[in-house]
């Protein structure tokens, strides 16, 4: 009877019981830009016309508001860090994208992973595929980003999220929102 009860409790445990926090946003920013002596917070607020312009480029920002950390050394911008969340299969995945001053992805870090499967997206080999990608890169599973069997939704949603972030940062840079 006790074994059956214990098995029932485990079977009913929510998937979020697998949640693991790996890094804070601050730790990720320092990891991505170790030479930075300062991180300035800046908000990007896109209006309806800007959202439409991004949509015309094939990018659907989920939000008009984006919080960006600008990594600086001696007042010179080194790059940008954006933290975002996407749904995996059932739970949220929190990740950070570091974009260099040249607009290319410098690093991707998974901050929190809450799914019971698909944690392989944390593997360096998978995350390294994004390095050097820009707003003109396809950033598409099966095209320039490989899928991980058993983690298709996590791979797809994180890839789509990174594509959004790179596009929003590039757009803000071109239109004076990030200097």
Classify 109 in phi/psi space as left (phi over 0), alpha (psi -120 to 50) or beta. beta
List the chain pLDDT tens, one digit each, 179 residues: 545 444 444 444 444 457 889 999 999 999 999 999 999 999 999 999 999 999 998 898 888 999 999 999 999 999 999 999 999 989 999 999 999 999 999 999 999 999 888 889 999 999 999 999 999 999 999 999 999 998 999 999 999 999 999 999 999 999 887 86
DSSP state of 128: G
What is the C-alpha separation between 1 and 93, in angstroms, rounded? 37
Contact 84, 95 (CB under 8 A): yes
Q: Which pair of tokens denotes residue 107?
A: 């690093």
Contact 93, 154 (CB under 8 A): yes
């Amino acid at each position: 009877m006790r074994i059956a009860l214990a098995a029932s409790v485990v079977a009913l445990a929510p998937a979020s019981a697998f949640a693991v926090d790996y890094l804070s946003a601050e730790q990720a920013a320092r990891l991505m830009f170790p030479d930075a002596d300062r991180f300035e917070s800046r908000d990007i607020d896109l209006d309806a016309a800007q959202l439409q312009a991004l949509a015309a480029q094939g990018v659907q920002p989920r939000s008009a508001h984006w919080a960006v950390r600008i990594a600086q050394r001696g007042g010179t911008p080194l790059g940008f860090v954006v933290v975002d969340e996407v749904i995996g299969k059932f739970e949220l995945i929190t990740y950070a994208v570091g974009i260099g001053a040249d607009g290319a992805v410098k690093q991707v870090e998974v901050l929190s992973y809450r799914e019971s499967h698909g944690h392989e997206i944390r593997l360096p080999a998978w995350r390294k595929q994004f390095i050097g990608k820009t707003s003109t890169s396809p950033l598409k599973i099966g095209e320039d980003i490989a899928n991980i069997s058993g983690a298709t939704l996590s791979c797809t949603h994180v890839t789509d999220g990174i594509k959004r972030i790179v596009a929003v940062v590039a757009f803000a840079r071109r239109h004076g929102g990030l200097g």
